[in-house]
Amino acid sequence: GENVEQHPSTLSVQEGDSAVIKCTYSDSASNYFPWYKQELGKRPQLIIDIRSNVGEKKDQRIAVTLNKTAKHFSLHITETQPEDSAVYFCAASETGGFKTIFGAGTRLFVKA
């Protein structure tokens, strides 16, 4: 069945450093790749997404890259701040499947 693997499970960085989270998906029909941030005790919220016809997308300090051939996509956060500390989930879904598969999550700690 469909699967999304996410690494690392935990990531600790110093404030100001960059953080990179990587995901691999199995369903070649996947064409939509959102990233969600979940702060402690709160609901997941979309921070950025990318569709399969685009290789890279940026939004201020956040960027996502997609390699469809390798079935890899990554989240890059630059100039990390303590408020970036949260759990980040990658996901993959495809038109027609109406199913979004999430990775297991990465707990990011940004140390001040």
Kindly state the tokens that stand for 68.
């469809």
Confirm or reject binding of residue 50 to other proteins (CB under 8 A).
Answer: no
Kindly state the tokens that stand for 106.
């990465």
By CB under 8 A, name the one of 80, 94, 108, 110 that touches other proteins: 94
Tell me how far apart the alpha carbons of residues 26 and 23 are, in angstroms, rounded to a whole number. 10
Q: Least CB distance from residue 56 to other proteins, whole Å?
A: 19
Q: Least CB distance from residue 62 to other proteins, whole Å?
A: 15
By CB under 8 A, name the one of 46, 55, 58, 61 that touches other proteins: 46
Q: Binding-site residue total for other proteins (CB under 8 A)?
A: 26
Torsion, CA 65, CA 69, CA 72, CA 77, rounded to 10:
-10
Closer CB to other proteins, 92 or 110, in the complex:
92
77 φ, ψ (degrees, to nearest 5): -115, 120
Tell me how far apart the alpha carbons of residues 34 and 61 are, in angstroms, rounded to a whole number. 16
Confirm or reject binding of residue 104 to other proteins (CB under 8 A).
Answer: yes
Would you say 68 and 98 are in contact if contact means Cβ atoms under 8 Å apart?
no
Give the interface with other proteins as residue ranges (CB under 8 A): 1, 6, 31-32, 34, 36, 43-46, 49, 89, 91, 93-105
